[in-house]
Amino acid sequence: MDIRGLVGKRILMSAGSYYNSNNVEEYKVLEVSPSGNWVKVMNNNTRKFWKMVSACALVEVLEDLEASPKE
């Protein structure tokens, strides 16, 4: 997974142990470490934390939320 191309995007990601692989959550990708081994994400509760890229599985990239244009 090329996580650098996802900075600033909303994603669905499974992150955690093998036994908890069905746990899919929404995150926003904030930054990637210089080595590319770690990614800083923010969940919907605005909690920010670092995760090992190798322990994360990208499920889907979400579209940006925009206000509907008025007709």
69 is a domain residue: no
29-38 pLDDT, tens digit each: 999 999 999 9
56 is a domain residue: yes
Show the domain range for 25: 3-61
Residue 3: pLDDT band with limits 50, 70, 90:
confident
**What is the C-alpha to C-alpha distance for residues 18 and 30, in angstroms, rounded to an integer?**
24
- Which residues have CB under 8 Å from 69's CB, separation 6+? none
Is the pLDDT reported for residue 59 higher than 80? yes
38-53 pLDDT, tens digit each: 999 999 999 999 999 9
Backbone angles phi, psi at 18, to 5 degrees: -60, -35
**What is the C-alpha to C-alpha distance for residues 4 and 21, in angstroms, rounded to an integer?**
23
18 is a domain residue: yes
SS3 4: helix
5-41 pLDDT, tens digit each: 999 999 999 876 555 557 899 999 999 999 999 999 9
User: Are the C-beta atoms of residues 1 and 51 closer than 8 Å to each other?
Assistant: no
